[in-house]
Amino acid sequence: MEGVLEPSLYTVKAILILDNDGERLLAKYYDDTYPTVREQKAFEKNLFNKTHKSDSEIALLEGLTVVYKGNVDLFFYVIGSAHENELMLMSVLTCVYDSVNLLLRKNVEKRILLRNIDSVFLIIDEIVDGGVIMQVDGCNVLDQIATRGDDIPLTEQTISQVLQSAKDQIKWSLLK
């Protein structure tokens, strides 16, 4: 019985989005499996080389379970430990992909993703918090982000958010 691992809430070790050249667009590591950027980049290169030409959705690499999905010029990865439930990791991957797909209005490609990278980071943070899965429904994730966006203080809003808010206020004041 000593070899049996206790269940843990910390199921996700990393979430990655790489482009079609294997370059990092987004990377969130939740533990110290790869503590330095150099080790992370080496792992990402190895991961991309193993998965970018494959038709499967799961891989075992360096003692880790990796589920992934490719789309046009992007690759989405969710990484867990070797003993992790693949279905849980796949549900996180599906939620990440579906949320990004809804955010980008079904136009999931590198250029548009980079234009909305701040919202993509919010999506990732809403789904996984410190390696713990918090949400696996893409619609709920986007609802949470939309709600959170309304509560952002003026000092933390982007310029486009401030301009949009000002336009809305002017529009409503003219319509009164």
Domains within the chain, CATH numbers bracketed: 14-175 (3.30.450.60)
**What is the spatial distance between Cα 66 and Cα 70, in angstroms, rounded to a whole number?**
13
| 135 within 8 A of 127, measured Cβ to Cβ | yes
**Which parts of the chain have pLDDT scores under 50?**
1
Q: Sheet with 24-29: list strands edge to edge.
A: 24-29, 14-19, 74-81, 64-71, 58-61
The length of the chain is 176
What's the Cα-to-Cα distance from 33 to each of 8, 24, 39, 65, 81, rounded to whole Å?
16, 18, 9, 13, 10
pLDDT digits (tens, 9 = 90+) for 1-24: 455 556 667 789 999 999 999 999
Q: What is the pTM of this model?
A: 0.79
Q: Is 75 helix (H, G, I), strand (E, B) or coil?
A: strand
What's the Cα-to-Cα distance from 108 to each of 19, 72, 92, 116, 146, rounded to whole Å?
12, 8, 17, 11, 19
User: Would you state the pLDDT for residue 79?
Assistant: 96
